[in-house]
Structure 1
Amino acid sequence: MRKLIESTFVSLDGVIDDTRPSTAPRAEPHRWGQPYWDEDHAAYAGKLMSSAGAMLLGRVTYEGFAQSWSERTGPDADRMNSLPKYVASRTLTEATWNATILRGDVAEEVAKLKEQPGPDILKWGTGELDRTLVEHGLVDEFHFWYFPVIVGAGKHLFEGAGFDTTHLKLADVERFGSGIVVHVYVPK
């Protein structure tokens, strides 16, 4: 059975993204996170990518990644572009970036993906899709990348999630010279 691994950038005040429509563009992770993207960051992201056999993305992350990565070349971009992607969306009608749109009950579809043989499934970003994944116990590992920055505004980790209290066990900690600390949690 494949594991579903969630990987998310988080500021020290819990911000994961700007709000939509944007009221705090400074809260976009590529703005506050970029000064900390160094060799340690790239190596850890590369380790996650190399262990993945597919990616699971929500629509917003899919569209952002497709725009950002589809025109890039090089080993990292080639890996990102070649991985099969599964996109959970109620509104997307077409997916052109090596992706399949998950239709119907997302929890059932993700459970089926996890039952297939092969390497792990990597999910970048935390958003609306995570409510369903956490509620149904489908996430096997959370990798929360805590950045040494206070953003002050934006969307917070699991904001308005609506699911019951979920207890996790700390499985690992990675510290980077830049000040990023990745906490790896698994279900308790």
Structure 2
Amino acid sequence: MSDLIVTEFVTLDDVVEDPDGRAGTPGGGWAFRHGEKAVAGDKFDLGPLFETGVMLFGRTTWEHFSKLWPSRTGPFADRMNAIPKVVVSKSLTSADAWQNSSVTDDLVSTVRALKARQDIVVVGSISVVRALAEHGLVDEYRLMVFPTVLGAGERLFTVPGELRLTSVEQKGSGALMRYRTDT
């Protein structure tokens, strides 16, 4: 069985809401205040997963990325554009805006079928992450933790649970923290 890996930008107090500021929330833009080096490139150490895995998005995150990535070039952008992408949505009818994208409206069945043959990387998409966690489908969290405390905002974890820390690596002013769920 392959792994489902959740990647998130997160503050020290577990806020995942509006890291780039595009939603206009009061604390929005917190990740990007640490400079481009803190957020650019393969900060989540996905490496070979770009060749063998698939990315999973919620509609809102996919729509945002589909406006940014298709016009970008370079080694990381080329890998982002080439990897197969699945968008979970009940309202999106076409995923033509970003190459190698497809749409599903059945999150759990789709993920179970994909996990049988390849690793899955979830980018942002907090409602998708929460649904996956409820069904015990998350194997690993890769959290890019930034030295910011907002005190309010949407948090990643909303229910109690236990995770096992497997590594910590400094990445600019942040830290990439990897946790296994051992589900």
Per the normalisation by structure 1, the TM-score is: 0.81
1:99 matches 2:101: yes
Cα distance in 2 between the residues matched to 1:23 and 1:72: 24
The letter for the 1-side match of 2:14 is G
Deviation at 1:154, TM superposition (A): 3.1
1:90 matches 2:114: no
Cα distance in 2 between the residues matched to 1:122 and 1:6: 6
Q: Secondary structure at the match of 2:16?
A: strand
Question: Could you tell me whether the CA contact under 8 Å between 1:49 and 1:79 is conserved in 2?
Answer: no
The letter for the 2-side match of 1:110 is V
Q: Secondary structure at the match of 2:41?
A: helix
The gaps in structure 1 that reach 5 residues or longer are none
Cα distance in 2 between the residues matched to 1:50 and 1:128: 26
Q: Secondary structure at the match of 1:129?
A: helix
Deviation at 1:37, TM superposition (A): 3.5
Deviation at 1:64, TM superposition (A): 1.0
CA-based RMSD of the aligned residues comes to: 2.5
Report sequence identity in percent.
Answer: 38
Per the normalisation by structure 2, the TM-score is: 0.83
Cα distance in 1 between the residues matched to 2:72 and 2:9: 22
Question: Could you tell me whether the CA contact under 8 Å between 2:122 and 2:129 is conserved in 1?
Answer: no
The letter for the 2-side match of 1:24 is T
Q: How many pairs are equivalent?
A: 175
Q: Secondary structure at the match of 1:18?
A: coil
The letter for the 2-side match of 1:183 is M
Cα distance in 1 between the residues matched to 2:18 and 2:173: 22
The letter for the 2-side match of 1:48 is L
Cα distance in 2 between the residues matched to 1:68 and 1:41: 13
- Which among 42, 46, 49 is matched to residue 48 of structure 1? 46
> Paired residue for 1:147?
146
1:11-30 CA-partner distances (Å, limit 9, x unpaired): 123221239x9461642xxx
Aligned ranges for residues 24-103 of structure 1 at < 5 Å?
Answer: 24=25, 26-27=27-28, 31-34=29-32, 35-38=34-37, 42-45=41-44, 47-52=45-50, 53-96=53-96, 97=98, 98-103=100-105
Cα distance in 2 between the residues matched to 1:141 and 1:156: 17
Question: Could you tell me whether the CA contact under 8 Å between 1:16 and 1:126 is conserved in 2?
Answer: no
Give the helix-richer structure, 1 or 2.
1
